[in-house]
Amino acid sequence: MAKPEISVVIPVYNEQDNLEALFGRLMPVMDRTGKPYEVLFTNDGSRDRSGEILKDFHKRRPKEVRVIDFNGNFGQHMAIMAAFERVRGDVIVTLDADLQNPPEEIPKLLAAIDAGHDVVGGFRKHRQDTFFRTYASRIINAIRERITNIHMKDQGCMLRAYKRNIIDSIVEARESSMYIPALAYTFAASPAEVEVEHAARAAGESKYRLYDLIRLNFDLMTGFSVVPLQVFTVFGMVVSVFSLLFVVFLLVRRLIVGPEAEGVFTLFAILYFLVGIGIMGLGIIGEYVGRIYKEVRRRPRFIIRSIHEEINE
Ligand code: UDP
Ligand code: MG
C-alpha cells in the first residue's frame, strides 16, 4: 500500500443527513486525482447517528477512510487539529462536512499547491449564508485585516489546502484555542487564494450560534494581535489630555465667572460614557488574561475515545 499523498480532513458534528452525499461526491473526486489519498473524519461528539455512519464509511473504504472518535464536543478547530496530528499526506486539504464547500473544488486547490504555494485558501464566490452572517463576517474580515498581519479575503472559508511543513508547524504550536486558517497564514511562505463555489447547507443547521461566532472572533483577535490593548492605551492617553485641558478651563472659569452648577447632566453623560469604556477595557484585558490562563493550564485540548483506521507501515 502506497503512503497517501493527499490527506483530506473533515470535522463532523451532528451531520447525519449530509454524510452520505458528502461521501458519494468526495470519493470519486479523490479517486480521479489518481494519487493515493486518505480521508480523516473527526466525529466531534455528535449526538446523532454521524458516528455510526462514519464507522460504516471506514468499513466500506478501509484503506482510505480513517475515523477519529472524540469523547465529547471540543469544537471544529480541535477536531481538525486531532486529524492534523495524524495525517500522512504531503498535501492536506480541509473541508466542511455540510457540503457548503463543494468537494469538486478540491482539484483547484491542489493545482495551486502544485504551482508552488504552501497555503491555499478558498474564498467564497457567492456566499450562501444568512444575510446577517455574510455581512457580520465582512465587517470582521475588515477589522482583522487592519489589526493583524493576516491578509486573506475570506477567513471563514474552511476549504483550504496546506503543504506538509505548514501542518507540522501548526501541530507544534500546541495552542489550546486557535484559529487554524490564521495560524497557517502566519507560517506560510507563499500563500495563495482561489475562488471557490459555496452552497447553502445541504441539511441540518449551522453549529455556530451568534455567541460562538463572537467567541471565535475574540480568539482570532487576541490570538494574533495586541492592537486592542494598544488602542486602549492610546485612547486612555487622549482622554487624559482632554480631561486635563477641561480641568484648566473650569479652573479659569471658576476664577473669572465664579461658582456654577450648570451642565451637571452633560457631565454625567460624559462620565457614563467613560465608565463604559473603562469596563470594556477591563474586558479586553480579561480576554488576554483568560487566554494566558488557558494556555498555562495545559489541559488536554481534546480527548479521543477511539480511532478506526487501517495503517500498515
Ligand atoms: N463542527 C464541528 N464541531 C463543532 C461545530 C462544527 O466539528 O462544534 C463542524 C461541522 O460539522 C461542519 C463544520 O464544522 O463540518 C462547519 O460547521 P458549520 O457548518 O455549522 O459552520 P458554518 O458553516 O455555519 O460556519
Ligand atoms: Mg456550514
Express each pLDDT in 114-138 by its tens digit.
999 999 999 998 888 888 888 888 8
Which residue has its alpha carbon closest to ligand 1 atom 22?
Answer: 206
- The Cα 24–Cα 57 span in angstroms is 10
288 alpha carbon to ligand 1 midpoint, in Å? 25
My answer on whether 46 and 106 are in the same domain is: yes
Which range has the worst mean pLDDT, 33-42, 43-52, 91-100, 218-227? 218-227
Give the percent of the chain with pLDDT over 90: 73
- The Cα 239–Cα 247 span in angstroms is 12
| Amino acid occupying residue 65 | V
User: Which stretches of the chain are DSSP H helices?
Assistant: 16-33, 50-60, 76-84, 106-114, 131-147, 164-173, 180-187, 210-224, 227-257, 264-297
Predicted confidence band at 313 (pLDDT cuts at 50, 70, 90)?
A: low
Question: Which residues form the pocket of ligand 1, taking CB atoms under 6 Å from any ligand atom?
Answer: 11-13, 15, 44, 73, 75-76, 79, 96-98, 100, 206-208
- The stretch 240-249 carries a mean pLDDT of 91
Predicted confidence band at 216 (pLDDT cuts at 50, 70, 90)?
A: confident
My answer on whether 17 and 92 are in the same domain is: yes
My answer on whether 100 and 244 are in the same domain is: no
Query: How many Å separate Cα 95 from the centre of its chain?
Result: 13
CATH number where 43 lies = 3.90.550.10
Q: What one-character-per-residue DSSP string does 109-145 give?
A: HHHHHHTT-SEEEEEESS--S-HHHHHHHHHHHHHHH
* Structural domain containing residue 179: 6-205+301-308
Give a yes or no: residue 56 inside a domain. yes
Which residue has its alpha carbon closest to ligand 1 atom 1?
Answer: 76
My answer on whether 129 and 255 are in the same domain is: no
Pocket test for ligand 1, best of 8, 10, 13, 304 (most atoms within 8 A of CB): 13
- The stretch 171-197 carries a mean pLDDT of 93
Question: Which cell numbers in the block locate residue 206?
Answer: 449551522
- The stretch 157-167 carries a mean pLDDT of 97
Q: What does the pLDDT read at residue 89? A: 97
Q: What does the pLDDT read at residue 209? A: 87
Of the bound ligands, which one is closest to the alpha carbon of residue 48? Answer: 1
My answer on whether 10 and 151 are in the same domain is: yes
If one counts the domains in the chain, the total is 2
Question: What's the 3-state SS for 251-285?
Answer: HHHHHHHCCCCCCHHHHHHHHHHHHHHHHHHHHHH
Does residue 17 carry a pLDDT above 70? yes
Express each pLDDT in 54-76 by its tens digit.
999 999 999 999 999 999 999 99
98 alpha carbon to ligand 2 midpoint, in Å? 6
152 alpha carbon to ligand 2 midpoint, in Å? 19
Which range has the worst mean pLDDT, 77-81, 162-166, 234-238, 262-266? 262-266
Full-model pTM? 0.89
My answer on whether 172 and 244 are in the same domain is: no
Which protein residues have a CB closer than 5 Å to ligand 2 (ion)? 98, 100
My answer on whether 286 and 142 are in the same domain is: no
Average pLDDT of the chain to the nearest whole number: 93
Those residues whose C-beta lies under 8 Å from the C-beta of residue 135, and which sit 6 or more positions away, are: none
Of the bound ligands, which one is closest to the alpha carbon of residue 78? Answer: 1
Of the bound ligands, which one is closest to the alpha carbon of residue 11? Answer: 1
Question: Which cell numbers in the block locate residue 243?
Answer: 480631561
My answer on whether 255 and 144 are in the same domain is: no
299 alpha carbon to ligand 1 midpoint, in Å? 23
My answer on whether 38 and 113 are in the same domain is: yes
My answer on whether 186 and 237 are in the same domain is: no
Of the bound ligands, which one is closest to the alpha carbon of residue 82? Answer: 1
Give a yes or no: residue 210 inside a domain. no
Pocket test for ligand 1, best of 54, 77, 84, 207 (most atoms within 8 A of CB): 207
Predicted confidence band at 1 (pLDDT cuts at 50, 70, 90)?
A: low
- The stretch 44-55 carries a mean pLDDT of 97
